[in-house]
A and B are shown apart, each in its own frame.
Chain A
Amino acid sequence: MASSFTRILSSKRNVGILSLVGGSVAAGFLLHREHVTAGEPLRRRYPASAEYPDLRKHNNCMASNLTPAIYAKLCDKATPNGYTIDQAIQTGVDNPGHPFIKTVGLVAGDEESYEVFADLLDPVIKERHNGYDPRVMKHPTDLNATKIQSGVFDERYVLSSRVRTGRSIRGLSLPPACTRAERREVERVVVDALSGLKGDLAGKYYSLTLMTEQEQQQLIDDHFLFDKPVSPLLTCAGMARDWPDARGIWHNNEKTFLIWINEEDHTRVISMEKGGNMKRVFERFCRGLKEVERLIQERGWEFMWNERLGYILTCPSNLGTGLRAGVHVKLPRLGKDPRFSKILDNLRLQKRGTGGVDTAAVGGVFDISNLDRLGQSEVQLVQTVIDGVNYLIECEKRLEKGQDIKVPAPLKQFNH
């Protein structure tokens, strides 16, 4: 540890440093800045002010919350795996954002990122999750599907129902930071556990590197295949390294329960079916998740979770439940009504096109899902979607008959 740092200090390069770094550097730059946590000291030749990113044209949560003071405090820290603040924020520096959509602008490289960089992450989490304060609040986890009320939609309107979340394997780094061996270990642990699923959950794994042409085509036709990320939000965070090594798709024989391995998170878990039986989709979701958890625990592993942040995932936007429960629903009239956005807001729902995030609605069919992730439990969020979608369908029916609709009162977000 000490030897590599003395190598840095004694390197002939340092002779040049004094002459070129101007301003307020003085003698500070050569100092040994130690890590707060385990890990080797970082190479740092410039003061924090010379390294602070230019965020003047940026509009993301990271840029809104990363002050020079916070940066200076965090810039010489690293997690035990060696992940740094510069790596965490790289995606937000490289992607200034959209004037209307506010992206998060940072990722976690491992579970400890949320602790070591809490000075930045806590305010980002608070901003992104509508005031949820991780310093004082606790996140409720509830995967008891029997608590769901109604939840079978009118299939003249709801074409399909889907619930997704993510899970991370404790002890292994997350996609932005993982090594090839860690990523392969995630794959091994998860695939091994999934092979223990039985009954309607029994299924098969398709590794991206090994799948045949036929298997690939089938997965495309089923809309299961995921591709190498192209979004710069993800590629700038380093998530696509070594593609397609240790990436794959598992699904049950009935094609209603699907797991993505090593895409944006260690795992993404999806339960889905055609039609409007959201209750059954959620029931399978909960049952499948609990079974997978049991199977990995048998093998000595567990999911990343804590009571402050719930389930830990790569992107701070997916903390808590990491849950997005949604339907594809026909709302041609409501979709054109000027009050549509406000209604959705008050119901704490969001709309997307049927291609997913950043796509347009086709033929009046919208993807409607929960806005929130953190601060409410899975059961609460799914119930919100069920109640909300039922309301939207009611509105559509009323508009069909030429009747007027009402904007509902805004829902309470979470119990403080």
Chain B
Amino acid sequence: MPFGNTHNQAKLKYSSEQEYPDLSKHNNYMAKILTPAMYERLRTKETPSGFTLDDVIQTGVDNPGHPFIMTVGCVAGDEETYEVFKELLDPVIEDRHGGYKPTDKHKTDLNPDNLKGGDDLDPKYVLSSRVRTGRSIRGFCLPPHCSRGERRAVEKLSVEALAALSGDLKGKYYALKNMTEAEQQQLIDDHFLFDKPVSPLLLASGMARDWPDARGIWHNDNKTFLVWVNEEDHLRVISMQKGGKMKEVFTRFCTGLTKIETLFRDRGHAFMWNEHLGYVLTCPSNLGTGLRAGVHVKLPNMSKHAKFEEILTKLRLQKRGTGGVDTAAVGGVFDISNADRLGFSEVDLVQMVVDGVKLLVEMEKRLEKGQPIDNLIPAQK
């Protein structure tokens, strides 16, 4: 998977030049890094499960990109993709993750006690707090490449592990193909339901095959801890609640993740992780922590300030609309989250969000009173 690349051997009868994609109109990391010589060296390779170079880059070939936003343009089909195709992926990772070198080591820190503060973001401004990441189960191919049998096995394992969670993490699984109308409506109302991907970035990589087979949503009874199964990654893990108590959200996130990891290990499975890339996920942009910690925060004045973007960049934060990536901000409410994923630990990133959002709210309050904020503008983190 995806199509047309079933067998790499058949393709080798054509020269590398004849097969090389036309990337003249492209603007993504893959197109920036791939050269004909590199293509020639890598096209004879395959991961043990049969994922090929063309499989890695198909999404980047099919989606030339946006003139202003740099998409990654490649995906992994399994854990070994990052090894076998490192000649392409290491520079892509380096470029995408702010200079992270092939020899760098990534630090994992899921101890919420290491987070300073974060329990007092002003709820008049910070409407909700959320932390998400992804996890892949070692030994199984990733969404672009997995067979139906594998995807179902991932679902089965995940559901069994999640069923063993207890206390405030106790919950229930809703398979996409079995849920009732009522369940579906409830999940929509709770903003939990994910839909079949429509983005051509995802579709072109084959992640939506066989929808909705083996896809589902698990959440705890309190509706504060949520796991998506077999959407863009094997698992997406989300901790969220209304208000500004990011520390609580992060604590539940860490506790939940650690428990889930233990439950998988008890059943003989590990998450894909290594000390260079951290947690391994489908998209190279989500390597390392795979973590996006964010808030929905009211910044109507701040967002109109000429230095808003600059300040966000200095704080290593990014803004999105409240519908998520590629949406617009509504009513001056922004989704503010960490820009980094790799090269910083989970605690580091959440700390940046907590400190950064606190500062932004300070600035917002000043601007409300017509006061200047220049002396608050931070140095580059």
Contact = CB atoms under 8 A, between A and B. Distances in A.
Interface stretch (A50-58, A259-267, A278-286, A354-362): A50-58
Interface in B5-32: 5-7, 9-11, 14-15, 18-22
Interface stretch (A7-15, A161-169, A403-411): A7-15
A241 B9 CA distance: 19
Given A51-B149, A245-B22, A181 B3 contact: no
A185 to B, nearest CB: 8
A256 B267 CA distance: 67
A179 B4 contact: yes
A21 B153 contact: yes
Given A20-B153, A81-B10, A87 B3 contact: yes
Nearest to B6: A82
A94 B208 CA distance: 8
Interface in A135-180: 173, 176-180
Contacts, number: 128
Nearest to B79: A13
B3 A179 contact: no
Interface in B125-163: 138-139, 147-150, 152-153, 156-157
A16 B139 contact: yes
Contacts of A83: 6
A179 B211 CA distance: 25
Interface string B189-214: 00000000000000110001111010
Interface in A9-37: 11, 13, 16-17, 19-22
A4 interface: yes
Interface in B40-57: 46, 48-50, 54
A235 B10 CA distance: 23
A45 interface: yes
B209 A93 contact: yes
A133 interface: no
B61 A241 contact: yes
Given A8-B49, A43-B49, A53-B213, A243 B10 contact: no
B362 interface: no
Size band of the B side of the interface?
35 or more
A122 interface: no
A303 interface: no
B167 interface: no
Best-surrounded residue of A16, A184, A235 (most CB of chain B within 10 A): A16
B62 A243 contact: yes
A87 B6 CA distance: 9
Given A20-B153, A93-B210, A94-B211, A176 B3 contact: yes
B116 interface: no
A17 to B, nearest CB: 7
A86 interface: yes
Contacts of A53: 148, 210, 213
B307 interface: no
17 contacts: A4-B48, A13-B139, A20-B157, A39-B7, A50-B148, A50-B153, A78-B7, A81-B10, A82-B6, A178-B4, A179-B19, A180-B18, A181-B15, A184-B18, A185-B18, A209-B22, A238-B2
Interface of B: 1-7, 9-11, 14-15, 18-22, 46, 48-50, 54, 58, 61-62, 138-139, 147-150, 152-153, 156-157, 177, 203-204, 208-211, 213, 267-269
Interface of A: 4, 7-8, 11, 13, 16-17, 19-22, 39-40, 43, 45-47, 50-54, 57, 78, 80-84, 86-87, 90, 93-94, 109, 173, 176-182, 184-185, 209, 235-238, 240-243, 245
